[in-house]
């Protein structure tokens, strides 16, 4: 192995040299000293630069227009706003050395501002206000009108200005000799005048060239004010007490004591001011839409329809449709009570929103009460049709099964069959029983099994089935109600005999 030689002056590995461990602290101190020197030089440079731009305390702060105060920077200074000038109707937006002012809009219907006050009542200026003094004058004038006193305003006349004649007045003038004033109003015949003067008043009118005058101030009005007993003398079309009593008597028309006054009649009618309408509504509810009755005529009565399977307009019979329609779920299969589009082909044009509604067809049919859960005819849907049928009738003819019996020996009959006991026929061919007696005929009688009658169809009264449509014959209804006004008993009788309703009977 070769020999290793240490650098000169280094007797320990890594101890000496510029970057050796022994010189580490000295090198770090040298680095810090160099950094501080650099920073200090930079600071000196910056401070030297400030000398050229520092604030000069001799510089003055001067307040502008509308402001006051200021001075140099050797001390704290204050700048204040100048005192504003007085705002007048002619003020403008401006500033001065120590003050300022503003312009303000003139007031108007939509603008707030300065408004001039007027102390007169005849100005047409719509941008000026009324003074309190003139407002007081106006208030006193209004108060005088409300209390019946007419204050004098302008011009001539008794407190009125007739210089401008109002519409409907053909003329106004003062009469000569101090009689007063004349107000002329045209009439269809000629003209009429109201003359007022010296505390008196006249009304006169001109007819065919002749003036006819009546003094209003001298007329005797006390009889009218005191309600005279006979007012017929004041108007030819008025009635006196006797005539009025007779009219009231004709109104009650000899009604019994309990109904011989208007108050009693009103109480009997329930104090209902719409009595006719109320009764008409109650009559409608007595026969609700969809009700089926039988009527003894060839045409349905007013407010009813024949139940003949026709397709009717929904818009014309909305209440009937609402009461009888089967609904959307059954509209496609129901035999009737469904909606469609074509009245000529209702079954082929079924539509839940159709304009037509199909009635049932009860012509020539018996109507049977719906079972509705009773169990007598279970399984039948409301409105379904049932075909004709009879109860099953059974019977049996049998012979004995004894091997010694002959062909028809020892017969027996049950059910609807029976032996006619009116005669027997001897049987002589049987050697063991030559005296056998057998029935010579066999009969059938259904009454032995089911109830019978002379006819299968029961006796019926053929009437017209009609369905209530809720359309009222208001003329007939109000006629009946007018008859009712004289006597409630008569009213009830007339309504009871108006129609005959025959209810259907179950089969």
The helix-helix angle for 474-484 and 275-286 (nearest 10°) equals 120
Rounded (10°) CA dihedral 69, 72, 78, 84: 20
pLDDT for 409 equals: 55
* Number of domains observed in the structure of the chain: 4
Low-confidence ranges of the chain (pLDDT < 50): 1, 4-6, 8-11, 150-179, 230-232, 405, 407, 422-423, 434-435, 459, 473-507
- Separation of alpha carbons 476 and 484, rounded Å: 12
DSSP H stretches of helix in 258-416: 262-268, 275-286, 318-324
As given in the structure block, the two tokens for residue 185 are 């109003």
The residue out of 225, 256, 291 marking a domain boundary is 225
Q: Is residue 500 part of a domain?
A: no
What residues are paired with 274 via a beta bridge?
A: none
| pLDDT score for 30 | 76
Give the integer Cα–Cα distance in Å for 252 and 192.
46
The sign of the torsion formed by the CA atoms of 222, 225, 231, 234 equals positive
Asked if residue 194 belongs to a domain, the reply is yes
**Helix (H), strand (E), coil (C) string for 365-411:** CCCCCCCCCCCCCCCCCCCCCCCCCCCCCCEEEEECCCCCCCCCCCE
Residues 141 and 177 in one domain: no
What's the pLDDT score for residue 177? 40
Residue 337 domain-assigned? yes
Q: 268 pairs with which residues across the strands?
A: none
> Could you report the per-residue pLDDT of 427-481, keeping only the tens digit for each?
555 555 544 555 556 778 888 888 776 666 554 555 566 666 665 544 333 333 3
Token output for 14: 């890594």
Catalogue the long-range contacts made by 80-89 (C-beta closer than 8 Å, 24 or more residues apart): 89/114, 89/116
Q: What is the pTM of this model?
A: 0.37
Gap between the Cα atoms of 23 and 88, Å rounded: 92
Backbone angles phi, psi at 348, to 5 degrees: -90, 0
Looking at the structure, tell me whether residues 402 and 442 fall in a common domain.
Answer: yes
DSSP 8-state code for residue 106: B
- Joined together, the tokens standing for residue 224 give 């009218």
Residue-range definition of the domain harbouring residue 436:
395-448
204 in any annotated domain: yes
- Tokens at residue 158, please? 């008794």
Is residue 344 one of the residues assigned to a domain?
yes
In a domain, 403, yes or no: yes
Tokens at 369, concatenated: 């009460």
């Amino acid at each position: 192995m070769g020999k290793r030689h240490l650098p000169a002056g280094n007797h320990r590995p890594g101890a000496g040299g510029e970057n050796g461990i022994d010189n580490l602290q000295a090198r770090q101190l040298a680095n810090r000293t160099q950094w501080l020197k650099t920073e200090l030089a930079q600071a000196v440079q910056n401070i030297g630069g400030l000398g050229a731009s520092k604030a000069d305390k001799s510089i003055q702060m001067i307040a502008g227009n509308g402001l006051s105060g200021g001075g140099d920077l050797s001390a704290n200074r204050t700048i204040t706003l100048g005192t504003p000038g007085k705002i007048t109707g002619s003020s403008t937006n401006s500033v001065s050395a120590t003050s300022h002012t503003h312009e303000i809009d003139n007031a108007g219907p939509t603008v707030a501002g300065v408004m001039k006050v007027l102390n007169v009542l005849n100005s047409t200026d719509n941008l000026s206000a009324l003074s309190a003094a003139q407002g007081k004058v106006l208030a006193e004038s209004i108060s005088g009108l409300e209390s019946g006193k007419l204050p004098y305003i302008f011009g001539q006349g008794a407190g009125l200005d007739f210089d401008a004649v109002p519409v409907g007045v053909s003329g106004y003038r003062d009469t000569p000799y101090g009689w007063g004033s004349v107000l002329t109003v045209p009439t269809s015949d000629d003209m009429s005048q109201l003359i007022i003067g010296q505390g008196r008043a006249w009304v006169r009118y001109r007819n065919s060239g002749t003036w006819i005058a009546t003094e209003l101030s001298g007329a005797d009005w006390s009889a009218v004010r005191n309600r005279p007993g006979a007012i017929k003398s004041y108007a030819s079309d008025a009635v006196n007490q006797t005539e009025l009593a007779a009219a009231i008597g004709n109104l009650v028309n000899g009604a019994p004591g309990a109904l011989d006054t208007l108050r009693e009649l009103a109480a009997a009618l329930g104090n209902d001011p719409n009595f006719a309408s109320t009764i008409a509504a109650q009559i409608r509810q007595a026969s609700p839409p969809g009700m089926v009755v039988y009527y003894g005529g060839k045409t349905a009565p007013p407010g009813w329809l024949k139940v003949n399977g026709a397709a009717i307009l929904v818009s014309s019979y909305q209440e009937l449709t609402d009461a009888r329609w089967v609904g959307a779920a059954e509209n496609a299969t129901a035999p009737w009570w469904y909606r469609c589009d074509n009245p000529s082909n209702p079954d082929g044009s079924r539509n839940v929103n159709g304009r037509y509604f199909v009635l049932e067809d009860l012509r020539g049919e018996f109507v049977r009460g719906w079972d509705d859960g009773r169990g007598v005819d279970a399984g039948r849907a409301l409105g379904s049709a049932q075909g004709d049928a009879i109860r099953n009738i059974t019977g049996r003819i049998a012979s004995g099964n004894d091997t010694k019996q002959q062909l028809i020996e020892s017969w027996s009959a049950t059910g609807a069959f029976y032996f006619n006991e009116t005669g027997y026929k001897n049987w002589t061919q049987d050697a063991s029983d030559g005296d056998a007696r057998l029935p010579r005929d066999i009969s059938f009688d259904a009454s032995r099994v089911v109830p019978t009658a002379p006819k299968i169809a029961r006796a019926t009264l053929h009437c017209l089935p009609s369905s209530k449509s809720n359309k009222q014959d208001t003329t007939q209804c109000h006629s009946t109600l007018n008859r009712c006004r004289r006597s409630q008993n008569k009213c009830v009788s007339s309504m009871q005999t108006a129609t005959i309703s025959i209810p259907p009977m179950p089969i």
